[in-house]
Structure 1
């Protein structure tokens, strides 16, 4: 894939490039009515454009004044190379510059996991728009979000793992069956721990023997990559009394549950000031806990 750049552009100056990409993706590829590709919002939206090494437009997206992200499109030949993620990140940054409190979007159903990996949480039922199934999704930029359902829990867990740079922290009494073994979460974990550059996942548990008996999927990864995944079991009586659970990364993202066996809790994306106290607490618990060397030899 040739080098490319993503930049914010004005509709007045770049409308030919913007609509060329949208026409090829939405109208020619997806069969959407050409009359729906353009609307009166285009001139007042913030637009981003992805250009290849020769300056040809290969992707685009827009941010409306009310915080709605839309018209996300990447040419078929350029998909799977991180262009959509770069476009979305540029739109998030545009939203921050505009002082927006949150962003929302209507995701085509096949793209839900893509937006979830970037911290957008699903809300409400699925619906149809322009003849295609969609899901409303939302990401807060300046505050925490409440997590109230398994769907939201899987989405935020996937996002935190996916967005981690070098380090992940996980405090879970028994590795959260039904959450950490969800397919999107497992895919994000495998991607994180098998990346070529140095990464580290620190896991704090309360009952290593019970986890060994259950044979959680994360243990298989631990056996394969013990230098990347480290397990410790709480030893201090104060730590053993902790009922909470927490997942956080080094990008300022966290998901905290006061009652660890339940999925409802609070989360945030890119809020390091809120994430840092949780990390400091987990570091103290880690330092007081014992290494679970016996888990390395499990026959799973």
Structure 2
């Protein structure tokens, strides 16, 4: 099957049949959602995106409602894992930005939470049932920083920052952030980052290598297998050793900063270079003052 596809913002009246053909196959036939729930009164009022394969056949769809909610995201089974979903989501986010909206939200089916997390969406509230399927409310800020105030949000924003990194990551953490960096979505994002074709580099600044080794973080195995990607230094300057903050940032202008590194709550932003650049400059100075952390390379894992 061809892998080329195109995503466009489309006119609902003229593309109605193509949009609902995709949604019918995914929601009604595959997921057994009642057909009466697949079409609603918001469809004529919403912005719609449609993905077509190189043969012109519809393969994916999504919509943006007037109240800023992304929904009806559907990709045919044979096209999943090929970037169609991400392209649809980017088109809907761009449509929201074009309307100068400050945020968008969505109800993610639980198996799709990590997909939306990678794009920067943060979970909010408890899991709920919609059309007989478990969902999670998620939100993406389009203008400015957001507050991170829970472990779930900390894992989500960390996953997003790693996924969105192009070639470089910076991490300052006292003991490799238990509860965050050892979370499965974060570990998988780091593995993908480190094994991608392009040259990648992750610069890790830690405070206590001995405590990290003793705790046996799952991340250590990845660090040891890929030393050309993950460089580690331990702080040695007294001022740096007394710092309690933690920071993660990438070369896309994204950051997650915590004034108290042992807590999850902090501030995060996507594509905010005016804020991330001073943080990176500060980490660069700490890096230059720190020593190579060879002891974490010698762990018998």
Query: Shorter-chain TM-score: which interval?
Result: over 0.9
Match of 2:162 in 1: 161
Q: CA deviation at 1:203?
A: 0.2
Q: Which runs of 5+ in 2 are unaligned?
A: none
Structure-2 residue corresponding to 1:20 = 21
**Which whole-Å deviations, capped at 9, do the CAs of 1:224-269 have from their partners, x for residues lacking one?**
1111000011122221121100111111211111000111111122
TM-score w.r.t. structure 1 length? 0.97
**How many residues in Structure 1 have an aligned counterpart in Structure 2?**
300
- TM-score, structure 2 as length reference: 0.96
**Matched residue SS, 2:177:** coil
List gaps (5 residues or longer) in structure 1. none
Shift of residue 145, structure 1, vs aligned partner = 1.4
Matches within 5 A, 1:70-219: 70-219=71-220
* Matched-pair contact (CA < 8 Å) for 1:145–1:268: yes
Q: Cα deviation per residue 1:119-168 (whole Å; 9 max; x = unaligned)?
A: 11111111111111111110101021111111111111111111111111
Contact in 1 for aligned 2:3/2:82 (Cα 8 Å): no
1:289: how far off?
Answer: 1.2
RMSD over equivalenced CA pairs, Å: 1.2
| Cα displacement string for residues 64-108 of structure 1 (whole angstroms, at most 9, x for unaligned residues) | 121100000000111111211111111111111110000000111
1:209-248 map, 5 Å:
209-248=210-249
SS at match of 1:106: strand
Q: Distance in 2 between matches of 1:166 and 1:177?
A: 24
Q: Which runs of 4+ in 1 moved over 6 A?
A: none
Structure-1 separation of matches of 2:280 and 2:100:
27
**1:10-50 deviation digits (Å, cap 9, x = unpaired):** 21222121111011111111111112111121122111111
How far apart are the structure 1 equivalents of 2:153 and 2:216? 25
Looking at structure 1, the residues matched to 104 and 300 of structure 2 have their Cα atoms a distance apart, in angstroms, of 46
Alignment check: 8 A CA contact 1:142 1:271 kept: no
The alpha-carbon deviation at position 52 of structure 1 amounts to: 0.8
Between 221-230 and 40-49, the greater mean CA deviation after superposition: 40-49
Q: Is the 2:26–2:75 Cα contact (8 Å) retained in structure 1?
A: yes
Matched, 1:7 2:13: no
Distance in 1, Cα, partners of 2:293 & 2:255: 25
User: How far apart in 2 are the matches of 1:184 and 1:6?
Assistant: 27
Deviates more, 1:234-243 or 1:256-265: 234-243
Q: Deviations over 1:161-185 (max 9, x none)?
A: 1111111111000101121111111
Shift, 1:295, TM fit: 2.2
Alignment match, 2:56 = 55
Q: Secondary structure at the match of 2:32?
A: coil
Q: In structure 2, what is the Cα distance between the partners aligned to 1:238 and 1:167?
A: 26
Give the equivalent residue in structure 1 for 2:294: 293
CA contact (8 A) 2:237 2:290 kept: yes
What is the CA distance between 1:196 and its match in structure 2?
A: 1.7
